[in-house]
Structure 1
Amino acid sequence: MTIAETLLELEDQLWRANREGDGSFYAHWLRDDALAVSKYGIIDKATAVPGIQANHNPYLKTPRTDEKVIVVDEHTAIVTYRVDVTVLFEGEEKVFPSYASSIWNNGSGDWRVVFHQQSAL
């Protein structure tokens, strides 16, 4: 499997874990110093994992399009795409289209997310 195929599969698994409220999956695949930036601010791993586990506003669908992978070197790659997140919010389904990017690093031997950003459209 190529680096691009591996990372796109891992992105699939992360979104699935988010939909299912599987914080333990994120605990494994985020580096300890990982950060995420969104309209909710800057979130570290210690905040993200319990938030995903709590699953207060469940993600129902997360289809991605326009996926691109930039391999920076053998240890670092950037994945970008559009994601149309359907969320259950106050009992109603709402769609939040966004552009997203993840930076992955495998310096420890396995690919881990270092940084993720979602920009709402």
Structure 2
Amino acid sequence: MTVTETLLELEDQLWRANREGDGSFYAHWLRDDALAVSKYGIIDKAAAVPGIQANHNPYLKTPRTDEKVIVVDDTTAIVTYRVEVTVLVDGAEMVFPSYASSVWNNGSGEWRVVFHQQTAL
């Protein structure tokens, strides 16, 4: 598998884990120093994993388009795309379109997320 194929597959798996409330998947694939930035603020791994596990507002659908992968060097790559997140909020489905970027690093020999940002549209 190419780096591009590998990282796009890992992004698929992360979104699936988010939809399923699988915090343990995120516990493995986020580096310990990982951060995420969204309209809700800055969140670290210690807060993200239990939040995903609690799954209070389940993600129902997360189709992505316009995917691009920039391989910076042998250990770092950036994945960008548009995502249409359908979330269940108080029993109602709401769609939140966003642009998203993830920075991946494999300095430990395995690709892991270092940074993720979602920009709501």
Scaled by the length of structure 2, the TM-score of the pair is 1.00
Counterpart position of 1:85: 85
Distance across 1 between alignment mates of 2:5 and 2:116: 18
Aligned partner of 2:7 in structure 1 is 7
Residues of 2 paired with 1:33 and 1:75: CA distance? 16
User: Partners in 1 of 2:15 and 2:91 — Cα distance?
Assistant: 21
Q: Secondary structure at the match of 2:69?
A: strand
Post-superposition offset of 1:112: 0.2
| CA apart distance, 1:71 | 0.1
- What does residue 115 of structure 1 align with? 115
Match of 1:95 in 2: 95
Identity of paired residues, percent?
Answer: 89
- Runs of 4+ in structure 1 off by over 4 angstroms are none
RMSD value over aligned CA atoms? 0.2
Separation in structure 2 between the aligned mates of residue 55 and residue 36 of structure 1, nearest angstrom? 17
Aligned residues: 121
Query: Aligned equivalents of 1:96 and 1:22: distance in 2?
Result: 21
Q: Distance in 2 between matches of 1:16 and 1:60?
A: 9
Secondary structure, aligned partner of 1:108? coil
Where do 5+ consecutive residues of structure 1 fail to align?
none
Amino acid at match of 1:5: E
